[in-house]
Each structure stands twice: as structure tokens, then as C-alpha cells.
Amino acid sequence: MTYKPARELGLDLPGITGRHNALTDVPGLMAGYTTLNFGEGPLVTGQGPVRTGVTAILPRGRDAVPQPVWAGTHSFNGNGEMTGTHWIQDGGYFLGPIMITNTHSVGRAHQAAVQWMIDTYPEHWGSEHLWAMPVVAETYDGTLNDINGLHVTEAHAREALDQATDGPLSEGNVGGGTGMICYEFKGGTGTSSRRITLHDREYHVGVLVQANHGRRKDLTILGVPVGRYLTNNMLLSEHEMGSIIAVIATDAPMMPHQLQRLAKRGAIGIARGGTTGGNGSGDIFLALSTANPMPIDRMAQINSDFSWIGDDLCDSVYQAAVEAIEEAVINALLAADDMTTLRPAGQRCAAIDPDALMEVMGRHSRLTTSRQ
């Protein structure tokens, strides 16, 4: 389905985006997908239907030598998984890819990421005592996907890594977001970016979300309680059962404690959409900076060339991340296509109707001047 992302549709969103309005606007970063979307009819465990996939992110692309990225994490509600976070909390960095998939495929994605690191840097892993601890995160797609069939393989995860590019990114029913539900609409993968200026230097903040969270009645877009108006095809549930993973990347030089604070702002970004972070929702955020590249073998030495922005300057990065996360979730909704539920069987999981959304937003003066 051809779709218009939020800005092209005419929503009056704040901030200046990067070239692609995507995570890949952060220089050097790459991302790719493997999408598994096949089969029809009733659920037969192990046979399908299959609506899932893998999203892969290479924070430093395909560098010739392994170089960590500085990072911080935050768990707003921990009913989910993101591997590698213990060392990020203690060490302030991680090395290797980021993978996002469904809840029951974390192990295979992790195995693929480890193998990719060994294959990509054979000299380092062959001659040194390096251990691989990639970041792998998940959300649950068992309402739309045969999750217990374990259809994601190591080869699928490796394909996502091999497909990674620094160009525009698809959204909606792609990668790990293929079978996700957001505010009782069809959800999935969304992305956005911002360009900011700090002391006459331009930096980028890019975001990618796997949006599988929220109840319809709570959905808010640009302050408008959209969920109160768009009430068709609701997947009624008393409790919030989904999750959201958000990756926030920047080329602004930031220290690990600043990146941890940046990751916390992810919770504000999703709160703008109305979610309250229910008990069943795993809302986990990873923030990273590609600045200050340093080969892994220098990590054990005395280094004096680390640069960073002052804490007061972080406010602009915080604002950019909050805005981009809000927009990325909206883009995930707008890009998605309808699906049919497997458990319970036969319900329509509808994508948001852009025309109906525009009508509501127009009534509340939330469109750009040309669309009012």
C-alpha cells in the first residue's frame, strides 16, 4: 500500500527533519529488514499464518575494525527483553548490531548477531579474547502471527543484517514490526529524525520504534484525543498487552550518563501518544552516540581525546528525541496495512484511516496552514 507519512499528510509536527526523516539520517548508521508475511486461514502452530520478521541496525555501519558506541538504556516498564543492557549500564557502551524481533525469536536473532560479528571481524575474534554481547530486543506479535511456530531463523536475522543500508527506511508491516498492533490499530515499524544546531554545529537525532503498545481510548496525536473519535474496528482489551522498543541515535558527542538520561526521554515521547505504560507493556529504550569512535583495543588504554557536549546543551537533544519518537509512532500507524487476528481468530486489525484522521485533526487545527 502506498502511504503518506505524517508530514506529507499535513500534520503540523514540530522540528526540522533530516534528509530521509529516518534513523539512518545519523551519519554512518545503517538499518535493514527481513519481513516474513505469508500464509492464510486459521492458525496451525508451526505452519502459520506467519506475520513477523527482524529489524537490524548497525550503529557504525560496516566499519573495518570493531568500534563500540557509547550508550544508555531505560526501562519504563520492564515486561519485555533487551539483551546487553547490564553492560551498557555499567560500562557505558556496547559493540555490534542491534536486532529487534518478536518475543520468541530473541535467541535466534542473538545467535545471528554473534555470528555476524565473528564473520565480519575474524582477526579480532580469532586472536583476542573478545566476547560478543549484541543488543536484541522484542515485542509480542502472537495476536497476528504464529509466534509459537518459531518461524524466524538465524538465516532470516542474518539477511536483515546483510540488507542494512544508510538510505530511506520502509515503515509499517516490515521487519520486526510486521505483526504488531498499536492503539488497537495495525502498528509496526516507524522512524523519524531531527536536525539540531549546537554552537554552530549541526547534529542529527534519529529514532526507530517497534510500536506494539497502547489502548485505542488513550490514543492522542498532537494533543488531540484521536482515540475517542476513531472507534471503528476496535480490538477490545481491558489491559494494555503490547510493548514498544525505541532506538534513539545521535552523532552529537555525549557521555554515557547523558545517553542514559536521553533514553529516559523515550518515555515522554511515547506518552505524547497517550499510553500509560500498562503492566503488560514492555517499554524499553536504547540511546546511543556514534561520536568519539574508538577501536576496541584502545578501550584498555589511557585516552584523552573524548569530546562531549555540556549538560545544558542536552536539552536540544532531549527535545529532538521526544518529537521524533512521537512522529515515528504516528508514521508506524499510517504506514501499516490491515491484518486478520489469529488469537482470537478472524477479527480485523485495521490500519488507521488517514482521511478520518485528517478530518479529526483539521477540526482541532492541527494541520499545516496549507491543509487547514
Q: Could you tell me the residue ranges of all domains in the chain?
A: 6-351
Catalytic machinery residues: 243, 281, 283
- The band of 358, judged by pLDDT with boundaries at 50, 70 and 90, is very high
Match domain 6-351 to its CATH number in 3.40.50.200, 3.60.70.12, 3.40.190.10, 1.20.1250.20.
Answer: 3.60.70.12
Q: Tell me the sheet residues that pair with 186.
A: 181
Look-up of cell digits 532531549: 318
The mean pLDDT of the chain is 95
φ and ψ at residue 122, rounded to 5 degrees:
-65, -35
- The band of 305, judged by pLDDT with boundaries at 50, 70 and 90, is confident
Determine how many CB atoms are found less than 10 A away from the CB of residue 163: 16
3-state secondary structure of 19: coil
Q: Span 205-228, mean pLDDT?
A: 97
Comparing 113-117, 120-124, 182-186, 320-324, which segment has the lowest mean pLDDT? 120-124
Does the pLDDT value for residue 372 go beyond 70?
Answer: no
Q: Tell me the sheet residues that pair with 33.
A: 55
pTM value surpassing 0.85: yes
- For the segment 231-250, what is each residue's pLDDT rounded down to a tens digit? 999 987 777 778 999 999 99
Residues 131, 117: Cα–Cα separation, whole Å:
10
Q: Which secondary-structure segment (H or E) carries 198? A: strand 188-198
What is each CA distance from 173 to 28, 51, 227, 348, in whole angstroms? 25, 9, 21, 15
3-state secondary structure of 260: helix
3-state secondary structure of 46: coil
Does the pLDDT value for residue 370 go beyond 90?
Answer: no
Evaluate whether 40 touches 138 at the Cβ level (below 8 Å): no
- For the segment 177-191, what is each residue's pLDDT rounded down to a tens digit? 999 999 999 999 999
DSSP symbols for 89-150 = HHHSEE-S-EEEEEGGGHHHHHHHHHHHHHHHSHHHHHHS------EEEEE--TTTS-GGG-
**Closest of 88, 346, 126, 349 to residue 235, by C-alpha:** 349
Q: Which three cell numbers stand for residue 291?
A: 561520536
Q: Which three cell numbers stand for residue 168?
A: 530511506
Evaluate whether 97 touches 58 at the Cβ level (below 8 Å): yes
Residues 300, 305: Cα–Cα separation, whole Å:
14
- The band of 335, judged by pLDDT with boundaries at 50, 70 and 90, is very high
- For the segment 6-39, what is each residue's pLDDT rounded down to a tens digit? 999 999 999 999 999 999 999 999 999 999 999 9
Q: Tell me the sheet residues that pair with 77.
A: 283
pLDDT at 371 (0 to 100): 62
Does the pLDDT value for residue 304 go beyond 80?
Answer: no
pLDDT at 45 (0 to 100): 98
